[in-house]
């Protein structure tokens, strides 16, 4: 009974301290995508997109940060006629918009009262709200509505200002075409405030 009471008190104290250490983290920035795909007659080139959202950081030197991010990813699809040689027959621009729900766990490598150098990582769920239709021509191949990814990154806190660089590895196929592997990998650069 004594151990149960002690464990309960420690748990309550830890939860109280984590709530006392809760901070809002609004961010905005740019993203760059690269598809890991094996289409025989198509290639996908990435271009800059954007993202903005907010996270809730719980903890101090070790933290957990769930959040919600709006994103827009832009790409160019090159469609080839594959006979003896590849001939470019069409180019299409894609624009994908949606929400990401990341849950990051981080640790400060170096920190003082107002500044920190930190690393973090974790999963995210992705929901696509809007995308181009028939991006590959007349085929019925479209972006999947949901997927998930794994993230790893590094960040710097300068007082209230934050700067983050992280990579997301797509763990789900991006398209509803069961014949080809197509995973989107993203690099994010963002600035934010730690309130």
Q: In the chain, what are the domain boundaries? A: 23-193
- Which distant-in-sequence residues (6+ apart) come within 8 Å of 64 by Cβ? 57, 58, 103, 104, 105, 106
User: What is the pLDDT, as a whole number, of residue 46?
Assistant: 80
Enter the CATH code of domain 23-193: 2.40.160.20
Is residue 137 pLDDT above 70, yes or no? no
Q: Say what the pTM is.
A: 0.81
pLDDT tens digits, one per residue of 109-126: 999 988 999 999 999 999
pLDDT tens digits, one per residue of 38-89: 666 677 778 899 999 999 999 989 999 999 999 999 888 777 776 656 666 7
> Of 121, 190, 187, which Cα lies nearest the Cα of 161?
190
């Amino acid at each position: 009974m004594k151990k149960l009471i002690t464990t309960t008190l420690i748990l309550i104290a830890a939860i109280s301290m984590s709530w006392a250490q809760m901070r809002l983290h609004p961010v905005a920035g740019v993203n760059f995508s690269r598809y890991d795909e094996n289409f025989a007659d198509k290639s996908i080139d990435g271009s800059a997109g954007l993202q903005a959202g907010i996270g809730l950081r719980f903890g101090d030197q070790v933290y957990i940060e769930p959040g919600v991010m709006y994103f827009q990813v832009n790409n160019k699809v090159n469609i080839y006629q594959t006979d003896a040689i590849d001939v470019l027959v069409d180019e299409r621009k894609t624009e994908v918009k949606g929400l990401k729900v990341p849950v990051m766990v981080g640790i400060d490598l170096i920190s003082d009262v107002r500044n920190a150098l930190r690393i973090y990582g974790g999963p995210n769920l992705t929901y696509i709200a809007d995308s181009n239709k028939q991006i590959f021509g007349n085929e019925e191949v479209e972006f999947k509505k949901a997927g998930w990814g794994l993230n790893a990154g590094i960040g710097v806190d300068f007082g209230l200002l934050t700067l983050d660089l992280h990579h997301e590895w797509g763990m789900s196929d991006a398209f509803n075409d069961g014949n080809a592997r197509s995973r989107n990998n993203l690099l994010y650069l963002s600035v934010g405030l730690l309130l």
